[in-house]
Structure 1
Amino acid sequence: MMPIYEENFESVSDLWQHVSPISPFVEKLKFNTIYRGQADSEWDLTPGAFRQDVISKYRRNKQDYKRYNHVIEFEYFNLNSFLIGCDQQGIQIPFDSNEFREAMEFPEFVSRYGSSSDDFQWPDKEYYPLLAKAQHHGMPTRLLDWTKSSLVAMYFAATQALYSNNKSERMAIWVIDAHETILSSVGLDLIQTAGSVSKNLAAQKGLFLLYKEPKQSYKDDFYPELESSVINKLLAQNNMINVYKFTLPTCLAGELYMLCYKFNVSATTLFPGPDGVAKGVLEFDLAKRSAGIL
């Protein structure tokens, strides 16, 4: 198994020199490298649908708690409800078609993913654009957000730390350097959707890692406490997957944000529209206060 390489930095300048787009480290990476920022360096790489707080809040009755019931059926019904709500509000569904609508029908879902089906692995590609749209509008899904930009990852680590009520000691920038086919070999699909799916997604140079549910696991019991580390474990299964975690004290979040801001990476540019502008104004004040500028 390939361990995750971890390095702790104590200054913003040292982190920046290591993971900025023109750093020697980044220039030596071989593949289509992806980045993720997190407010707490102790957090695993956990999609929203697998987080303990989400599971505890929305979990089903224990007698129904096989993996099929929670991980597949539960996710499908949430996604279908999101689709119905978009229809009721006249919100455009990405890559909508008669074929996609048929795939979203419950009888088709059961025939594909029911206990007697052996042909499909949840979720199929037809669901990807709707999953991406739902994810970027606050729905917990099995998608995990990443970006092609190290600056965007540093921005999200900094802002999450600034907004967090439970201050951790260190934030983290995750880096994965691996070919898509290698990631797929361990059960992780790298998903890049069209920019039309979400303006935010396009602005953030966003993409996703997707853990596809193994067919043989459908009838297994579901243990929420084991879900948080599933992606970490999969990434460690192939020595051709290089994973790095770079950490920085959270007390430097304001300073890191201000450096991202100088490179035009802020809520104003990453969340197009008036809501993003308002978010950017408030984040700027918050970051200045945190950095001791105000």
Structure 2
Amino acid sequence: MVEQVSFTTAQELIDFLSPLDKKQWPRGTYVFRGQRCSSFGLVPSAYRSQNTISARSMWQEYGGVSGSRQVFFEYNMLLSFLHACDASGLQVSGDSIQVRQLLDNGIRFSMDPAEWPPTELQPALATAQHHGVSTCLLDWTWRSYVAAYFAASSAVRVPDTNNELAVWALRVDFSNRWEKLSLLTLPGGTTANLAAQAGVFTVSGIKATAGETFESTAVEYQEDVYSNLVGPNPGLIKMTLPTSEAPELLNLCADLGVKGSVLFPGYEGAAREVNDLAHAYPSIFPKRWGK
């Protein structure tokens, strides 16, 4: 199943993640994801039952989440995002008259959840996902150090020295054989953040009928990840590091040019970089500011 590798120092993890090691990381073979807690599963935000905004919280008074209710939740989150962008005069990549016509007939997806999400909506879903809206997409990156940055950045914001952060590597060179998952790669022009982060997504469809209870399956438990592989490289690798090493991991990523101001072009990224530093070194932040 999952191959697990534990590290004690940030330097060890950075060395292991080096893209120059073509034996460990053959080009185009793996995508990466960083998470602040090693116990977190690889679950899209729309499927996380602990989230305040979720299908489960919406339907808890009505007997749980069926396939149709899960689609209803995701559909309305996307439609609300598009309407909010309309009000702000923002163009959403992939949006079109045809997409709006498809959304006008949203009841069809609730009747047949297996059709969700249709390919035509995936660019808009990706934009929504990158801006914090709950979707069935899970963010990954082609760049290992970008995943390390996100693991470290999120870990310093919720300090827990007894915990471990995680960087995952998912093998995708045989993703064309997947049946329950799909890999979504979009043009860099979809969003500036997507381009800067070399972002890519896995898409988890709803494998339930309209009335059947919906239960999500985390990516690490999907058979697609481990079947039909050729060669010695594993389907999924989980790398862990004590969160006490997160500040140093941020430093090493910055030395490699991977930091907030680069990954989030614009004012958002500049502010994120300052906040990363303030969270990582709260007691000496003023001294480091002049460096």
What residue is the counterpart of 1:19 in the other structure?
17
Moved more, 203-212 or 281-290: 281-290
Matches within 5 A, 1:256-271: 256-271=249-264
- Structure 1 SS opposite 2:167: strand
- Structure 2 SS opposite 1:74: helix
- Structure 2 SS opposite 1:59: helix
Residues 55 and 69 in structure 2, CA contact (< 8 A), matched pair in contact too: no
Shift of 1:198: 1.3
Shift of 1:110: 2.0
**Are 1:218 and 2:210 an aligned pair?**
yes
Residues 19 and 25 in structure 1, CA contact (< 8 A), matched pair in contact too: no
Residues 103 and 109 in structure 1, CA contact (< 8 A), matched pair in contact too: yes
What residue is the counterpart of 1:153 in the other structure?
147
Provide the C-alpha distance between the structure 1 equivalents of 2:57 and 2:85, rounded to a whole number of angstroms: 21
Please tell me the residue identity of whatever aligns with 1:101. R
Residues 182 and 202 in structure 2, CA contact (< 8 A), matched pair in contact too: yes
What residue is the counterpart of 1:99 in the other structure?
98
CA 1:114/1:72 → structure 2, altered by over 3 Å: closer, same or farther? Answer: closer
What residue is the counterpart of 2:157 in the other structure?
163
What residue is the counterpart of 1:233 in the other structure?
221
Please tell me the residue identity of whatever aligns with 1:36. R
Provide the C-alpha distance between the structure 2 equivalents of 1:97 and 1:200, rounded to a whole number of angstroms: 21
- Deviations 1:47-91, CA, capped at 9 Å, x for gaps: 111112223884224436342333211110111111111111111
What residue is the counterpart of 1:188 in the other structure?
181
Residues 18 and 24 in structure 1, CA contact (< 8 A), matched pair in contact too: no
Uncovered stretches (5+) of structure 1, i.e. residues with no partner: none
Matches within 5 A, 1:191-210: 191-210=184-203
Provide the C-alpha distance between the structure 1 equivalents of 2:284 and 2:48, rounded to a whole number of angstroms: 31
CA 1:65/1:282 → structure 2, altered by over 3 Å: closer, same or farther? Answer: closer
CA 1:93/1:30 → structure 2, altered by over 3 Å: closer, same or farther? Answer: closer
Please tell me the residue identity of whatever aligns with 2:106. F
Normalising by structure 1, report the TM-score.
0.86
What residue is the counterpart of 2:170 in the other structure?
176
Shift of 1:273: 0.5
- How many pairs does the alignment contain? 280
Q: RMSD across aligned C-alpha pairs, in angstroms?
A: 2.5
Provide the C-alpha distance between the structure 1 equivalents of 2:47 and 2:199, rounded to a whole number of angstroms: 20
What residue is the counterpart of 1:72 in the other structure?
71
CA 1:238/1:217 → structure 2, altered by over 3 Å: closer, same or farther? Answer: farther
Normalising by structure 2, report the TM-score.
0.87
Provide the C-alpha distance between the structure 2 equivalents of 1:198 and 1:129, rounded to a whole number of angstroms: 10
Residues 186 and 238 in structure 1, CA contact (< 8 A), matched pair in contact too: no
Uncovered stretches (5+) of structure 2, i.e. residues with no partner: none
- Structure 2 SS opposite 1:53: coil
Provide the C-alpha distance between the structure 2 equivalents of 1:278 and 1:114, rounded to a whole number of angstroms: 40
Residues 39 and 168 in structure 1, CA contact (< 8 A), matched pair in contact too: no
Shift of 1:97: 2.1
- Deviations 1:137-173, CA, capped at 9 Å, x for gaps: 1111111000000010000010110001555511111
Structure that is richer in helix per residue: 1
- Structure 1 SS opposite 2:24: helix
1:252 is aligned, of 235, 245, 252, to 245
CA 1:114/1:38 → structure 2, altered by over 3 Å: closer, same or farther? Answer: closer
Residues 68 and 110 in structure 2, CA contact (< 8 A), matched pair in contact too: no
What residue is the counterpart of 2:47 in the other structure?
50
What residue is the counterpart of 1:131 in the other structure?
125
Residues 122 and 212 in structure 1, CA contact (< 8 A), matched pair in contact too: yes
- Structure 2 SS opposite 1:65: coil
CA 1:73/1:166 → structure 2, altered by over 3 Å: closer, same or farther? Answer: farther
Shift of 1:181: 3.5
Provide the C-alpha distance between the structure 2 equivalents of 1:132 and 1:237, rounded to a whole number of angstroms: 25
Provide the C-alpha distance between the structure 2 equivalents of 1:51 and 1:68, rounded to a whole number of angstroms: 15
- Deviations 1:201-233, CA, capped at 9 Å, x for gaps: 11111111111123x54321135xxx3x43221
What residue is the counterpart of 1:141 in the other structure?
135
CA 1:95/1:267 → structure 2, altered by over 3 Å: closer, same or farther? Answer: same
- Structure 1 SS opposite 2:189: helix
